[in-house]
Amino acid sequence: MDTENLYYFEKAPVAKAVAHFAVPMMLGTSMSVIYSILNAYFLGTLHNTAMLTALALTLPLFAIIMALGNLIGIGGGTFISRLLGEKKLDDVKHVSSFAFYSSLVIGLIVMAVGIPLIDPIVHGLGATPDSFGFTKDYVTMMLIGSPFVILFFTLENIVRSEGAAMTSMMGMILSVAVNIILDALVIFAFHWGVIGVASATVISNLVASVFYAYHMGYKSSFLTISVKWFKASKEILSNVIKIGVPVFIMSIFLGAMSLIFNRFLVEYGDPAVAAYGISSRLLQFPEFILMGLCEGVVPLIAFSFTANKLRMKQTIGFTIKTIVALAVAFGIIVYLISDHLIGLFTNDPQLIEMGSYILHVTFLSLFITGMTTLFTGIFQATAQGTAAFIMSIIQGVTLIPVLYIANRMNGFHGVVWSLVIADAVAFLVGAIMLYALRNKLQPDMESLVQ
């Protein structure tokens, strides 16, 4: 293993090691959110609520496509980090080659199956007559480009798993930069609207995937895209599936939750859906910062799990403190300027009022969301497949009945608050499982959940 990555994996002070792995990921994910926000902003300048509604309705589809990339990327990536901790370098090459080619195959399958079913998919997403055409445009382009989108999410995780955090960040930023430039062109110069936005997303993911593939093929000492290293052995499949499938199921549940949530909001009109689309994108910024922190330290946790469990415990403890500090800071900022933030995307007073309200409520669970993400990352990094699977379904299993009950009891307000309740339940379940697994993970792990 090269000296720099070995130093951060094994010898650097914990705070410095966490910063090395997490800060690039946090910057990369924050750039992704900035793109998402600008995406909505660019469309918002056209003053077409139906376009903003279509953008919100297609989030579940994007979540599913992303989930397929994360299935291979996180499942294979955490396995690679554990293999590096055990110095099994040939196995690392087998896993990285498997991840590359299996992602492309999955993407081609999605495209072949999805394109003939475009109209049912658009109806299933809950498109209204006004937003149907825009939603169909977006869905069509995302299905055509699904091989590249899936490959992007896979390779980002694979590259990060070897400790190349800066390279992973550079690929993410490259994708965002290309996306923003193309968005401006297709909306303001070419006037392509929603279909242009979707095309920009696909092209930017393709560009970043080429960047990652180049790194794996020519720069990395451990990863490869060479087909001669491709191997779909039982060990590789079982380790990728054990962690990847729970990640996939979690993403599917998140997509399904978003779909169901949108269907409840549709009862209160397109403004409610558009307001949620805007506020959820604003909430993504602090959420993705925390997600970047938690996902960034997963390779370090996975490596330390096979090499030095005391260091693993110290890494988790430091990460928890950082989550608390960031959640408090972001919460204060949002509560002070929420109206102004929503006002960046629309001048509709009703949208501003509804969006600000949704933002205030959902921000209550920011710390909980961060901790839940960390719990899930710990279970993934330490190959606790059952715990990872439970975390993947608990929020969705909770949200669906809560939505029905809250909607009947308190209408629009109940629908919005149901998100906070589901997050709280997921946090409690994760904390209980971490406590139950404390002896398996680390003799004094219980100090982390007390």
The radius of gyration of the chain's CA atoms, rounded to the nearest angstrom, is 21
Q: Are 100 and 17 in contact (CB under 8 A)?
A: no
Cα(321)–Cα(230) distance, rounded to whole angstroms?
A: 41
Count CA atoms within 13 Å of residue 98 on its CB side. Answer: 26
DSSP state of 172: H
Q: How far apart are CA 83 and CA 376, in angstroms?
A: 20
CA distance 157 to 161: 6
pLDDT score, position 2: 55
Concatenated DSSP letters of 375-442: HHHHHHHTT-HHHHHHHHHHHHHHHHHHHHHHHHHHHHHHHHHHHHHHHHHHHHHHHHHHHHTHHHH-
- Are the CB atoms for 150 and 107 separated by under 8 Å? yes
325: its two tokens: 């500090």
Q: Are 200 and 179 in contact (CB under 8 A)?
A: yes
pLDDT at 160: 87
CA distance 378 to 19: 17
Residue with tokens 């990640």: 247
Q: What residue spans of 45-88 are helical by DSSP H?
A: 49-57, 59-85
pLDDT in tens, the chain (450 residues): 455 667 788 888 899 988 888 888 788 777 766 776 677 777 777 767 778 777 777 877 887 888 899 889 988 988 998 898 888 888 999 999 999 999 999 999 999 999 999 999 988 888 878 788 888 888 999 999 999 999 999 999 899 888 888 898 899 889 988 988 998 898 888 878 788 888 998 999 999 999 999 999 998 888 999 999 998 888 899 888 887 887 787 777 766 777 777 778 777 777 777 778 778 777 777 888 888 888 888 888 888 888 888 888 889 999 999 999 998 888 888 888 877 778 777 777 778 888 888 888 888 888 888 898 899 888 888 888 788 888 878 877 888 888 888 888 888 888 888 888 888 998 999 999 988 887 766 544 443 444
User: Residue 232: helix, strand or coil by DSSP?
Assistant: coil
Q: Which two tokens stand for residue 93?
A: 């090459």
Does residue 42 contact residue 183 with C-beta atoms inside 8 Å? yes
Q: At what angle do helices 349-362 and 309-343 cross, to 10 degrees?
A: 160
Residue 439 CA to residue 433 CA, distance in Å, equals 11
Tokens of 272: 């409610």
Give the C-alpha separation, 282 to 287, whole Å. Answer: 9
Cβ atoms within 10 A of the Cβ of 232, count? Answer: 12
For 307, the enclosing helix (H) or strand (E) is helix 298-307
Angstrom distance (rounded) from CA 259 to CA 60: 6
Rounded to 10°, the helix 165-184/193-214 angle is 150
The CA distance from 223 to 92, in Å, is 7
| CB crowding 65-80: b at 16 or more within 10 Å, else e | bbbbbbbbbbbbbbbb
Report d(CA 291, CA 285) in Å as an integer: 10
Rounded CA gap, 366 and 127, in Å? 29
pTM value is: 0.74
pLDDT score, position 394 = 84
